[in-house]
Structure 1
């Protein structure tokens, strides 16, 4: 089946859909790694209210990926909050997710180009992201875009501690 997803900037009307896709993509990608309690605690942070607040905040940029009028993924940029002291002019690629049926259909590069162009348009000089140490597919994807490993940190899902790799690239 051919996928014909498109991208556009998120609006407040997308908040509930983004919250649902955020929970669904995280669960299908990582849900098997955690207890039900840890996963539920983590997913509580993806509420429509939180999404609406970030969409309205000019420090964030969010793009939705949709097929027809169904949201199937998203990209979110925001102020760095990883455990390091970024230089001025840094932005974080906070989230980059597509539901599994749309993965491998060519949207990943479009999403990354949007993120890089958006960061440059904001005058940013470098972009950071974090990726689960065992997520080899994502790590290879980011390496294609010249992101380099610059450290590790503990990423918490409920009470469960994972190791994430922090990656950086100059813009």
Structure 2
């Protein structure tokens, strides 16, 4: 499947929401309880949530199918909200997801490269990322992309607490 990346705006909130819910379900079906998935997506991945992120200065990239422009993945850079010692110039990669049919086609690395580029362009010097502690596949990907573990956090998904790792990379 051929894809392209483009900057996303608040006008793309419904597209971001659609791919966010789908990719979250793909990533956590069989890991999280159904009710927790639904509650988490409703609270954090609605079109209103993305419009709010964008209104607060978030920077998003949308991956789209070349034919038909269906959303396939996205990134979301925000002000950091992680339990690590903050540094001037930090930015959080709050979300980076790609739909399963695109895995192995270079979309994940392209999204990471764009997030790094967007962070640098905005004057940031370090990229932070929280990731589910049990997602070994994601850990390998982030390590391959130059990030390393700098801490841990407890993260509430729906009604269940989970242990996450906090990764970082200098920009």
Matched, 1:11 2:9: yes
The equivalent residue for 1:87 is: 87
- Note the C-alpha offset of 1:55: 2.5
The equivalent residue for 2:56 is: 57
User: Contact 2:83/2:152 (CA < 8 Å) preserved in 1?
Assistant: no
Within-5 A mapping of 1:152-171: 152-171=152-171
The equivalent residue for 1:70 is: 70
TM-score (norm 2): 0.93
What secondary structure sits across from 1:151 in the alignment? strand
The 2-side partners of 1:108 and 1:78 are apart by 19
- Note the C-alpha offset of 1:122: 1.0
- Note the C-alpha offset of 1:148: 1.0
Within-5 A mapping of 1:135-146: 135-146=135-146
Extract unaligned runs of 5+ from structure 1. Answer: none
Give the RMSD, CA atoms, in angstroms. 1.2
The equivalent residue for 1:35 is: 33
- Note the C-alpha offset of 1:98: 0.6
Matched, 1:99 2:99: yes
- Note the C-alpha offset of 1:31: 2.3
Equivalenced residues, count: 168
The 2-side partners of 1:158 and 1:27 are apart by 13
- Note the C-alpha offset of 1:85: 3.4
Runs of 4+, deviation exceeding 3 Å: none
Extract unaligned runs of 5+ from structure 2. Answer: none
